Every structure is written in C-alpha cells, then in structure tokens.
C-alpha cells in the first residue's frame, strides 16, 4: 500500500516543491487547505487519510490528531517553532518531530534590523506623512543608530546574526539568553532587567514556551527606557499586546515593530490606532530563497524518516 503524507497547510501559492519530492520517493501527497484549518478539521483529515507523515506550516497538529494515526512516523514542521504541534503526544508514541531550524536566519535578522532602521530614520512615519500631503522636514526627530544600545532577548542563530549586522553600524550590543554562559565578541551578556533598563531598542528573538509566554508584559515594559523601541520577530505570544498598547499610549514606548501577534491574523484596532506601530503579517521568515529551502528540506526530512533513516533535525527523539 502506498504511504500517505498529509500537508496540512502552506503559506505559498502552491505545493509543487513538496509534491515533487514526496511523489518522487513513491509516496502520496494529500494537501489540506492553503489557509490553516481548525484543529478539528485537521483531526478529521488525519482520521480520513491515515498518514505515515504530517507536514505542517501553521495548522495545529493536536494530540487527538496524533492519536488517530497509528501508522504515523513523523510530524515535520515547515518552520522553526513547534508551538503548533503536540510534541509530548508525539514523543509518547515514539513519533519524531522535526523542524528546519536555520533556513531563515538571514531573513529574520534582516527584518529586525530593517525595523530598527525604519525607526531611527523615520522611514514609515515620514512615508505616511508624505502620502497624507505633509512635507515637514523640520518635524524630524531622528536618531543615530551607532549612538544607541540594542538589547537582544535570545541569542541563538538568529540573535547572533542580528548582532553581527547591528554591530556593523557601531551600536552597543547587549544580550540575554539562559543558554549564553559568557560574553561574546562585541556582545555583553546581561540579565533581562539590565537589558531592559539600558537598551534603546529591544529585539525579541526567543522561542515561545510556557516560560516565555507574555515575557514582555506591562511590568517589563515599564523597565524599558522611556521612548524606546520594541521589536518582535519571534512569536506573538511572547509579547502582551494590551500592555504594548498601554505603553505606546503613555509614551513609555515611542514605537513597536511587530511581525507577529498573539491574536494573528486578527490585528486589534487599538494597536493599529497607535501611530508608533509598524506591523508586518508574519513574513520576517520569507524570501524566495528561504521558502524554497524550507519546503525542500522539510519534505526531504519526511522522505528520510519514512525510508528508515535518521532525521537531520530531530526535536524530540535523539
């Protein structure tokens, strides 16, 4: 019997890269909707098709979905974070969970630096003003990036890439990461409290876990320098959106640059009403090169595991 791979959803125009790799290996690809379906709809697809592998982008792969697929060998994330997969349920059944941890390092770090430059140079603010018929160069209150302190919450692959790029501008760099044991070249390892207190720009590069949910809340925003910038290109749930709105309204934050939201794709109206907000629709990971690499490597990981080979990036089984 031909084994089936279920592609739950995909954030690109077609599934051709995935289909070519899966079918060339003698497997059958079944695609769910491009837009993520509900967990219940995914569970129904799993019950119907009984896949040997699941490829998922944004859709939730629940414990119930995993339990209903007795032949399931792998759940492969088309991305980095695993917060949409019931990893513990997979581990309990010896099902490997994989991701592609390094496909978008350059893109996400570029996005973070782009947000920082947009703020220091007023790019979004002045574009909006000019489109509204205003031409007021005397209103500029711009900043020199090299004179600022940038704090990185998370110093993994992407955090290190962001530090390398910001370092080229000459700014002072701080980092907080529980796995960072010493200063790195040009980077001072500090406590989270010190990072918030001393940074003009705070950039979130942390994973979403039970311990990091709402890590940036009202109390921590109050610790930041008044008039500073918060950038989140990681996961929306790390930042308390209501607290950010309050900090913008009070002037504690002058701006917030958010590629991710805890409520996405719904964007709260009170957030959009803040002139200091820059929002992009969870696209920091995206480029033509990154997406092609992501799709190829995730599909190849599925083929590898179904052939009985060891995955390159296991996240739960070693």
Residues with a known catalytic role: 235, 264, 282
Would you say the C-alpha torsion 141, 143, 149, 154 has a positive or negative sign? positive
Write b or e for each residue in 204-243: b if 16 or more Cβ atoms lie within 10 A of its Cβ, otherwise e.
bbbebeeebeebbeeebbeebbeebbbbbbbbbbbbbbeb
- Three-state SS for the chain is CCCEEEECCCCCCCCHHHHHHHHHCCCEEEECCCCCCCHHHHHHHHHHHCCCEEEECCCCECHHHHHCCCCCCEEEECCCCCCCECHHHHHHCCCEEECCCCCCHHHHHHHHHHHHHHHHHCHHHHHHHHHCCCCCHHHCCCCCHHHCEEEEECCCHHHHHHHHHHHCCCCEEEEECCCCCCCECCEEECCHHHHHHHCCEEEECCCCCCCCCCCECHHHHHHCCCCEEEEECCCHHHECHHHHHHHHHHCCEEEEEECCCCCCCCCCHHHHCCCCEEECCCCCCCCHHHHHHHHHHHHHHHHHHHCCCCCCCECCCC
**CA dist 78 → 31, 106, 196 (Å):** 14, 17, 32
């Amino acid at each position: 019997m031909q084994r089936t791979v279920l592609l739950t959803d995909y954030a690109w125009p077609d599934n051709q890269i995935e289909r070519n790799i899966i079918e060339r290996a003698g497997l059958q690809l079944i695609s769910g909707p491009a837009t993520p379906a509900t967990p219940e709809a995914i569970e129904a697809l799993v019950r119907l098709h009984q896949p040997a592998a699941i490829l998922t982008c944004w859709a939730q792969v629940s414990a119930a979905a995993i339990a209903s697929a007795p032949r399931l060998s792998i759940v492969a994330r088309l991305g980095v974070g695993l917060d949409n997969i019931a990893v513990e349920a997979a581990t309990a059944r010896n099902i490997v969970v994989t991701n592609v941890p390094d496909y978008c390092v350059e893109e996400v770090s570029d996005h973070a630096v782009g947000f920082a430059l947009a703020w220091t140079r007023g790019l979004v603010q002045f574009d909006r003003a000019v489109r509204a018929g205003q031409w007021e160069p005397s209103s500029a209150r711009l900043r020199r990036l090299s004179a600022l302190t940038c704090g990185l919450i998370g110093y993994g692959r992407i955090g290190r890439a962001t530090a390398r790029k910001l370092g080229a501008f000459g700014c002072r760099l701080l980092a907080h990461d529980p796995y960072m044991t010493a200063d790195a070249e040009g980077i001072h390892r500090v406590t989270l409290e010190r990072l918030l207190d001393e940074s003009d720009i705070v950039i979130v590069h942390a994973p979403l876990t039970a311990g990091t949910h709402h890590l940036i809340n009202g109390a921590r925003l109050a610790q930041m320098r008044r008039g500073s910038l918060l950038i989140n290109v990681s996961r929306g749930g790390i930042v308390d959106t209501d607290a950010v709105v309050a900090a913008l309204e009070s002037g504690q934050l002058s701006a917030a640059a958010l590629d991710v939201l805890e409520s996405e794709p719904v964007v709260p109206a009170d957030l959009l009403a803040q002139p200091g907000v820059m929002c992009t629709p969870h696209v920091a990971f995206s480029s033509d090169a990154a997406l092609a690499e992501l799709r190829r490597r995730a599909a190849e990981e599925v083929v590898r595991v179904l052939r009985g080979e060891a995955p390159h990036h296991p996240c739960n089984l070693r």
